[in-house]
Structure 1
Amino acid sequence: MPGLEIEFEIPGDATGGAFAILEFTLGPRRLVPPHTHVEEDELSYVLEGEVGFRVGDTVTIARPGTYVQKPRGIQHTFWNGTDHPVRVMEVLLPGSAAEGFRGVSVPGRIPNVHSDEWVQELVDQYGVTLIGR
């Protein structure tokens, strides 16, 4: 996804699938579209910058040191409304679900997030459903 870079700090296979820890950088004025996850719960911890989150009906503007819980099955989105990149640590439970993030942060690969093929890949392989497309 353009503007989203993900690093695997502790991949799920290193924990037997129990959990995974990722760190992502989201570029200025970028939004990750609203979506749900079938398989995993997520916990975000803001490392740098100011990040907007909407989880269900709750909107939070999170600054460094803030945790945001994103339970499975609950629609969520997040964005960087500033002119500077933001950094967030993401904990995924179970960690086996983290592999889905490799498909959206591949250097040189800019997926067409509006294509039926890309959306179907997210659903089939990773249990992610984009909302409102």
Structure 2
Amino acid sequence: MLLIIEFLSGAVAGIALGRWVRSYSFGWVINALVGGIGGLILEWPTTRVLGLGRFIGPVGNVVGLTPAILIGSIVVGLLGGLILVLLAGLQERSYEPEIDTGKAKVTRCRAMSIGSSLSFWS
């Protein structure tokens, strides 16, 4: 149950990051898959951090579903999805092709404009 919650919250974070920062977007389906995987990946190290494991619950989760565990799983899924989509976007941006102008090699980069990426709010 908690793994599904973490996958879905990671997928939501991936889609949201792709919509807010278009230069890191791979399309909403890929963003959702990468974010969901990130939400699942971050769950395992978080359960082993001292003091945070009680907010995620054990991996087998024999305790049950408490509000603290539910909120902790959602937060971990959101952070994991956000981190993995951000890392994938940074990796994709590092492979931008170079343009040969004859004088010097210029690396083409996409400018990240927060104002234009938040245009869907208006």
- TM above 0.5, yes or no, is no
TM-score normalised by structure 1 residue count:
0.23
More helix by share: 2
More strand by share: 1
